[in-house]
Structure 1
Amino acid sequence: MTQDLPIGRALRRFRRLNAIKQGHFAELLGVAQASVSRWESGTHEPDAAHREKIAALIAAQTGSDADAALKRLVETSTQAVHLVCDATHRLLAASPARAASWNADAGTYVGMSLWRFATREIILAEAGLAAAGWFERPFQTLDVRTGANGSREIPVSPGRMRWETIPLSGGRTGRLTTTLG
């Protein structure tokens, strides 16, 4: 589900924002602290089983009352916007304008990663986030140019989009993605 998605830097940000030491996170995963360090630095990637455990621990959700207003704002926005977990790209909410551009019911994708619909440009922009300090601070904004992804299901059209991180409850981080005119 989250294979191919860089997760080490998102883990680092999650730990820092929640004041969790590498050693404690390593205990939760049943690995050495050095493994967590290597994942966070990008020198190694976790295997599939550990990747899924990490994603489960750091994944953002909007099921809590604390995030209900944000979810409602996204779901009633007139702009083409959607909110995903910044670490896993799992869909948290989509506006009617965004859902209208999809050939699928947005509700069926809530909780599912949209990473498989990423364009080459989105993948390249994601790969550059760590070097740009994206995972070092909680509030980030980036404008991204993208081409089409060729998907009939969840199409991405050529154009510009803005990524903005939004702190969510429980120390998780969401990414608001807005299509720019």
Structure 2
Amino acid sequence: MPTVTAVLQTSLGPSLRRWRALNRVKQEVLAHELGVSQARISRWESGHAQPDGRHLLKITQLLRARPSTAADRALLDLVSRSSDSVHLVCDLTHRLLAMSAGREKERRAPVSEYLNRPLWRFASDGIRAAEQSLAENGWYEPDGPDILYKTERVEFPEMTIPECSVRISRLPLADGSFARLVRADRTSAMS
């Protein structure tokens, strides 16, 4: 069962609404599939309520990034082969989907130790603050902007999060879920 984190609390509603729109699924149809009322779906999407454990598990499974098409796999391959220090995570769960060799060098374990596991436990205070402000910064809008934020240096036994500016981009996958490209922002370093 997924742990209810700040990530799920802030992004579940907008992500569910966006998934329904992309897949042309009405609230009533989703409510029937989940065995709840249409009003409950509406409350979840608006953030006025959170799904319980059983429903949270079903919704998370529905919305989590599953890169399965050739185009999705090409994106993972591009990230993995990038010369830049970048990684790609599921936008909803922060589960690692791909990591470049440059980013892997910053870790104290091989990428296989992190792949398909949530990275949220390594979030700095700066990352957590940025996550809380995504909705107000338009992240979940159809053409949501990249988000730029600063993070402080944090030491974990498995890795070091360096002090830097971070740019995140939200990328749609073929199934209507989203991945998040995370990279150091070079433009802010130059200014």
Query: TM-score scaled by structure 1?
Result: 0.91
Which has the larger displacement, 167-176 or 57-66? 57-66
Point out where structure 1 has 5 or more consecutive residues left out of the alignment: none
Are the equivalent residues in 2 in contact too, given 1:121–1:145 (CA < 8 A)? yes
Q: Which runs of 5+ in 2 are unaligned?
A: 187-191
Q: What is residue 46 of structure 2 aligned with on the other side?
A: 41
Q: Give me the whole-angstrom Cα distance separating, in 1, the residues matched to 2:27 and 2:132.
A: 23
Cα deviation digits, residues 24-56 of structure 1 (max 9, x gap): 222222221111111111111222222221110
1:84-141: CA deviation from partner (whole Å, max 9, x where unpaired): 1112211110000111111122123222211121111111111111122211215531
More helix by share: 2
Query: Would the alpha carbon gap of residues 149 and 13 (structure 1) be closer, same or farther in structure 2, given more than 3 Å must change?
Result: farther
Aligned partners of 1:64, 1:107: CA distance in 2, in Å?
Answer: 22
Residue in structure 2 matched with residue 3 of structure 1 by the alignment:
4
Check whether the contact 2:76–2:98 (CA below 8 A) recurs between aligned residues: yes
Q: Secondary structure at the match of 2:148?
A: strand
Counterpart residue number, 1:145: 150
Question: Does structure 1 conserve the Cα–Cα contact (< 8 Å) formed by 2:31 and 2:38?
Answer: yes
Residue aligning to 1:175: 180
C-alpha RMSD over aligned residues: 1.6
Which secondary structure state, in structure 1, belongs to the residue aligned with residue 139 of structure 2?
coil
Alignment correspondent of 2:189: none
- Percent identity of equivalent pairs: 40
Give matches, 1:53-92, under 5 Å: 53-92=58-97
Letter in 1 for 2:102: A
Supply the AA of the counterpart residue of 1:174. Answer: A
Letter in 1 for 2:145: Q
Q: Are the aligned partners of 1:145 and 1:161 in contact in 2 as well (CA < 8 Å)?
A: yes
| Cα shift at 1:176 | 0.3
Which segments of structure 1 move beyond 4 Å, counting only runs of 4 or more? none
Aligned AA (2:4) = Q
CA distance in 2, matches of 1:12, 1:72: 29
SS in structure 1 of the partner of residue 80 of structure 2 = helix
Does the aligned pair in 1 maintain the 2:88–2:97 contact within 8 Å? yes
Match of 2:165 in 1: 160
**In 1, Cα distance between equivalents of 2:32 and 2:109:** 40
Cα distance change, pair 63–152 in 1 and its aligned pair in 2 (3 A) = farther
Q: Which amino acid aligns with 1:89?
A: H
Task: Measure the CA separation in 2 of the matches of 1:28 and 1:100.
Answer: 44
Residues 139 and 128 of structure 1, relative CA distance in 2, 3 Å threshold: closer
